[in-house]
Chain A
């Protein structure tokens, strides 16, 4: 930009009329420089200096693992149809579980997962307990849920043991903290974590 301005000023100051050729040359030269100079000028403006206040946009462009997406979809299905018996965390302790003669499956049991494949689960979810000689109290969902929904639910169920383990660990940590505070209320022990964190 600066070059173009100085060039114009020079031309305006020149008392001698420039011949046609050199004027064209100057204009082309100036245009070329300006064009090259301008090419990436705007890019800086596009990347705004401030982060977006919108949470959903702050993670813009991040690629979500399709498996994670399936698990999230599966969780919605689970919450709507299954949790009333199988429990909010899939531990077989739902609101209706106590009314059932055969207790609902606890999905946090890792032994169960060692013996069960996705195909087994698909059969049970879509056909109910009867075809696999399990409790008739588990109904068949094959006509209510779509194929994809059943796969999603299974994807979610596979995450149950780990989630339960994580929740338990968090709870234990919290409890330990609470009892720790209650046992030693003296100033010295309570001062230690403050120092750590600083």
Chain B
């Protein structure tokens, strides 16, 4: 009787440890769950009764993934070692999570006795690493862009300045021009007549105009790649959005998107929109990210009239910017208002979740605003950004 009590107490003690441990734990025999603890069920959004008696195949996306993991665990346990590996599991709602599995044989000499399986959800850690990687890549590109824009500026300087010399030497009655023309037995007026008739003057003007536009583009790219504002200052968003959209027209990522090329970009900017205190680079980053996101929404669908509407208007307590498109809806997992808890879930399309998450971060943390996502009236989605206006409501 005393032995039974001791056994019962021991069982209760082990069960208590099993369920109170913060990590997911399961006992698996022949790939079937015999016991699962509450943290494991919570992690996967299953009830214990769903998992106990179920084959672990339930948690994998396909047979290949399941067989690969079970084979690797078996091989390592047969070698007499515990096993540690990363894989991807599916929750009850189909959402994928990254997990770290630690398997150990309950009886090293008899693997048929089963194994304990420790499970750690490492989704957030992997996504943070991915974001850190993206950030590092972004900074590297910025450094490259800053160097490239400097070199481009030099090249265009040589072109614009040489062009001015050409114009000066062909069109202006300078003593040096007259002397050389005389040496060549040519009337300077004849030279001027020739270049007018051959429309060379117009071409010189066109080169000058193109060079100045190139410098504007280089300058905008430089400002985007190297945010110059040390602290926020008031900006007229109508002008700023126009400039960013012009910059977007030169964005190779957007222009390589075959759907974006066919997409009509509609600007609905209300006049006299209040100014917003911000850093220029923050607005540029959000607008380009959301344009990219909107362009991606047309991938894989046959939209009749793909359209992205960008609205800018005065709101009750600030300024409202809307990005509305008639592409695909955002996945349910992104239809949340609480972006603060949103890590980019995997398998929602390359780049979509990070773009949205980074945009939310900039809007909420850097600009002191709010960002919402909702389904558009027809197809597609609408992203709304609300920003506070500059003190005094300058307009």
Question: Do A and B come from the same complex?
Answer: no
